[in-house]
A and B are shown apart, each in its own frame.
Chain A
């Protein structure tokens, strides 16, 4: 018989005590037959008192465990071995002043080592702190926020969050790296939302079971901003909004972000406008014999500060023995610091039974639509094997197509394709 009855532990403990007391009382019965009734009566009272005492203790213990239950600890580890075509046994010295450049890209490393602490202080509020200690072994704060939930809807459909959290833009960002089917997000998302998180306030509303909206006011630069990771130089805040319509088998969403960036210079700074528009859709289906699958697509376009333009148009010069200045190069046009961009991806994920999953994705990113030879394109293949409910083994191959200047005005695709072998454990 394999069916097992539910047996809540306090009552199991109480039953054990009753049994132990009854066994203890048995010899007394045998030795004092004449006083059987009195002994039985006393034993029953004793058992009753014991049970009452136990119940009180258990209620006290339960109050304590109820408090502990409000704390939830979760996280995951992603350990990797990467093999790149760019691998080599050398360590090169280059640049002036000389700097060590690690050339070998075939290596073991920890991509993500994350731990998240959630405290559900009451049904109406929640606090979260989330850390990552992967990559360079520096522990950094990923997220820290307080969420206030409404008290007037049964499913708490309206929530206000304040702190540092994921920017509510696009489908890739809202999905955890622990559930995503390929090791890394698309190039466009990585460039436009480096770090994926920012500080601010957001309001989430589930208007109907199918319609969800999020609006947010954010500092704007994101947590990986090279100049202003912890501050916001602009008084105005970035606006980000997202609306999703979900049919279950087909989801469609649109995202919009608007704000201002700042390029700090010695002298008047340049304040490019930042505008991003995104649309995404996911179609879910089931293939006979294989299982669940999905076809996803996401596209971005807009106008934003361009890292290549910054490198090309801005220079740092020595103005004295101890001072440097950051200036526009002679003849550079400040309006060219920001450019029109576009990017996106198409991805097919197919379950192969319940314990394996195959993935194909093509993603592209063009940081400046008015310029040639700066496009990035990539084909990614992936296979995930689910070892158990917590552990996933993954292998993926990225065929990366970029162009670098070669001889005589020609361009070539560098050898930088990448194999990734990863084991992930989630808890």
Chain B
């Protein structure tokens, strides 16, 4: 007797569903350039303490990491901004989940100027004016007579998105802003340019000076440190995230738990970021 067409269909689907899943290949971590140093230090220390564990960390920007999470090509996405609604929809389209968001550290987005620049503080309004191109000379904000040179990040950067949202209120950067690939490049450019200004993760601020920021013209000027970033009094404090497709299990869970442990959080402080608590 020939099996019915439905029985044949059932057999084929059962066989295909039995195809083995992809073998384990270590934990892949991809995303934010701001977080890449932090991620690497976490990975190095974790691997030293856990023989046989492999954690691979690469940068590329928060947007690139989120795209990799959606494509299924990374286990963990590091992001210096929250996922956008359309990115969550894309993730849900493929995996039927909007993902898991885990804050892993805090960062104070620093504003850098050259060490010789006499400007010590700026209000958010002044900073907005500088990056939108309405303030073009250092003299307008208490500095010397010189044209302000703007350094910014590429638009796949979470730092770029955060700065645009919080400082510029979503409006466009001045076309005079030079985009550079990575916070290290911004710091390098500002360290060589007496009239330059840039922004990026506080951990990168070597050879430049951080500017204290004021929420309003009359508010006190605040520099990013553990206290001001954790209590939110520093105007550009932000959480740094791990994004996963599902609740962490197995090796990924052990790694995430370690990052959130005292040891992991202490490492964040050593690298120049701020612990969650």
A-to-B contact residues, CB < 8 Å: 1-6, 8-11, 59, 62, 66, 85, 122-124, 151-156, 175, 179, 206, 209, 246, 248-249, 284-286, 291-294, 349-356, 358, 381, 383, 385-386, 388-390, 395, 397, 399, 417, 419
What sequence of 0s and 1s flags, for each residue 164-188 of chain B, a beta carbon within 8 Å of any chain A beta carbon? 1100011110000011111011001
Point out the residues of chain B lying under 8 angstroms from A249, CB to CB: 98
Task: Establish whether residues A356 and B71, one from each chain, have CB atoms under 8 Å apart when the complex forms.
Answer: no
Task: Establish whether residues B96 and A356, one from each chain, have CB atoms under 8 Å apart when the complex forms.
Answer: no
Q: How far is the CB of A31 from chain B (nearest CB, A)?
A: 32
Contact among A1, A6, A11, A399 with B188 in the assembled complex (CB-CB below 8 Å): A11
Assuming the A-B contacts A8-B184, A156-B170, are A248 and B33 also in contact, with contact meaning beta carbons closer than 8 angstroms in the complex?
no
A25 to B219, CA, bound (A): 54
Task: Establish whether residues B56 and A155, one from each chain, have CB atoms under 8 Å apart when the complex forms.
Answer: no
A153 to B26, CA, bound (A): 41
A85 to B26, CA, bound (A): 46
Q: How far is the CB of A361 from chain B (nearest CB, A)?
A: 14
Contact among A59, A285, A292, A397 with B9 in the assembled complex (CB-CB below 8 Å): A397
Task: Establish whether residues A351 and B57, one from each chain, have CB atoms under 8 Å apart when the complex forms.
Answer: no
Contact among B17, B33, B40, B95 with A291 in the assembled complex (CB-CB below 8 Å): B95
A209 to B181, CA, bound (A): 31
| B253 close to A (CB within 8 Å) | no
Question: Which of the candidate stretches B84-92, B134-142, B256-264 sits at the interface with the other chain?
Answer: B84-92
A410 to B47, CA, bound (A): 73
| B21 close to A (CB within 8 Å) | yes
Task: Establish whether residues A155 and B17, one from each chain, have CB atoms under 8 Å apart when the complex forms.
Answer: no
Task: Establish whether residues B6 and A399, one from each chain, have CB atoms under 8 Å apart when the complex forms.
Answer: yes
Assuming the A-B contacts A5-B36, A8-B181, are A385 and B16 also in contact, with contact meaning beta carbons closer than 8 angstroms in the complex?
yes
Q: How far is the CB of A403 from chain B (nearest CB, A)?
A: 19
Q: How far is the CB of B67 from chain A (nearest CB, A)?
A: 9
Contact among A9, A151, A351 with B95 in the assembled complex (CB-CB below 8 Å): A351
Task: Establish whether residues B71 and A389, one from each chain, have CB atoms under 8 Å apart when the complex forms.
Answer: yes
Assuming the A-B contacts A286-B246, A356-B17, are A6 and B184 also in contact, with contact meaning beta carbons closer than 8 angstroms in the complex?
yes
Task: Establish whether residues A152 and B40, one from each chain, have CB atoms under 8 Å apart when the complex forms.
Answer: no
Total A-B residue contacts, Cβ distance less than 8 Å:
135
Point out the residues of chain B lying under 8 angstroms from A10, CB to CB: 181, 185
Assuming the A-B contacts A284-B98, A292-B95, are A155 and B21 also in contact, with contact meaning beta carbons closer than 8 angstroms in the complex?
no
Point out the residues of chain B lying under 8 angstroms from A388, CB to CB: 73
Q: How far is the CB of B27 from chain A (nearest CB, A)?
A: 10
B215-246 residues at the A interface, CB under 8 angstroms: 245-246
Q: How far is the CB of A205 from chain B (nearest CB, A)?
A: 13
Contact among B71, B171, B247 with A151 in the assembled complex (CB-CB below 8 Å): B171
Point out the residues of chain A lying under 8 angstroms from B56, CB to CB: 2-4
A266 to B54, CA, bound (A): 76
Task: Establish whether residues A3 and B96, one from each chain, have CB atoms under 8 Å apart when the complex forms.
Answer: no
What sequence of 0s and 1s flags, for each residue 93-132 of chain B, a beta carbon within 8 Å of any chain A beta carbon? 1111110000000000000000000000000000000000
What sequence of 0s and 1s flags, for each residue 1-26 of chain B, a beta carbon within 8 Å of any chain A beta carbon? 00001100100110011010110001
Q: How far is the CB of B3 from chain A (nearest CB, A)?
A: 14
Task: Establish whether residues B179 and A66, one from each chain, have CB atoms under 8 Å apart when the complex forms.
Answer: yes
Point out the residues of chain B lying under 8 angstroms from A155, CB to CB: 84-85, 165, 170
Q: List 30 A-B contacts (CB under 8 A).
A: A2-B26, A2-B43, A2-B55, A3-B44, A3-B47, A3-B55, A6-B58, A6-B182, A10-B181, A85-B5, A151-B170, A152-B170, A153-B170, A154-B164, A175-B93, A209-B85, A246-B85, A284-B92, A286-B96, A286-B246, A291-B96, A292-B246, A354-B72, A355-B22, A355-B72, A358-B13, A383-B17, A389-B72, A390-B71, A395-B12
Task: Establish whether residues A206 and B246, one from each chain, have CB atoms under 8 Å apart when the complex forms.
Answer: no
A62 to B5, CA, bound (A): 60
A6-B58, A155-B85 provided; 17 other pairs, C-beta below 8 A? A2-B57, A3-B43, A6-B182, A6-B184, A8-B181, A151-B171, A248-B98, A286-B97, A286-B246, A351-B96, A352-B17, A355-B72, A383-B16, A383-B17, A389-B68, A389-B72, A397-B13
